[in-house]
Amino acid sequence: MRYWLMKSEPDVYSIADLANDPTEIWDGVRNYQARNFLREMQVDDLAFFYHSNTKPPGIVGLMKIIEADIVDPTQFDESSKYYDPKSQPEEPRWRTVKVGYVETFAEQITLDTLKATFSPEELLVVKRGNRLSVMPVDEAVAEKLLEMGRSA
DNA sequence: GCCAACGTTGGC
DNA sequence: GCCAACGTTGGC
């Protein structure tokens, strides 16, 4: 069982949206490094939900991987902003996972708090200039994050 | 809204 | 295979 961190802009898709859905396909990732992490995910892995491009940015909750290695349907949808004309149905370029809601943290763990608590080596998201939207989280760091998020 | 960081594209 | 131009991300 591994831990991950996945970013989403709350204006586009927030933890509240996920709480209202039974499950959701995490679509729209169009970065190869992020996609490779998505492909490593296995059922029952846990992922921290991170709100980006908002004030303040930070970790807001937890979700679980409930289905692994799904073809991202938006890559073949010409009306989608994530449409990729270079991706062939016989060899889809973009794969992702289906996630399920687990919990919303009692208190958001802001980026400022994350920076004050973890080094860039411990937690990639605090690294300056980091633009990855999907990244692995070390188990010891993950346990601390759970503790921080659950104690308001 | 700005802009630094950095990924991608395409000409050569 | 290099690299300039361009596009996107995301904190501020």
Return d(Cα A151, Cα A77) in angstroms, integer.
42
Query: CATH number, domain at A120?
Result: 3.10.590.10
Does some domain include residue A105?
Answer: yes
Does some domain include residue A151?
Answer: no
- Residue A152 confidence (pLDDT) above 80: no
Does some domain include residue A132?
Answer: yes
Does some domain include residue A125?
Answer: yes
* A53 CA → B2 C1’, Å: 14
Cβ-7 Å neighbors of strand C: A 7, 9, 30, 52-55, 57, 111-112, 130-133
- Please compute the mean of the pLDDT values over residues A66-86 and round it to a whole number: 90
* A89 CA → C12 C1’, Å: 41
Pairing verdict, β A46-51 and A3-8: parallel
Please state, for a pLDDT cut of 70, what percent of chain A lies above it: 99
A108-129 pLDDT tens trace: 999 999 999 999 989 999 988 8
- Residue A69 confidence (pLDDT) above 90: yes
User: pLDDT band at residue A138, thresholds of 50, 70 and 90?
Assistant: very high
- Residue A12 confidence (pLDDT) above 80: yes
Domain of residue A74: give its range.
3-141
A13-32 pLDDT tens trace: 999 999 998 899 999 999 99
- Please compute the mean of the pLDDT values over residues A49-59 and round it to a whole number: 95
Return d(Cα A63, Cα A25) in angstroms, integer.
12
Sign of the dihedral defined by the CA atoms of residues A137, A143, A145, A150, in that order: positive
* A87 CA → B12 C1’, Å: 26
A78-106 pLDDT tens trace: 888 888 888 888 888 999 999 999 999 99
Return d(Cα A49, Cα A7) in angstroms, integer.
6
* A14 CA → B9 C1’, Å: 32
Q: For chain C, which bases have at least one atom within 7 A of a protein Cβ? A: 8-12
Question: Tokens standing for A63?
Answer: 């979700």
Tally of domains in chain A: 1
Does some domain include residue A40?
Answer: yes
A54 close to A102: Cβ distance less than 8 angstroms = no
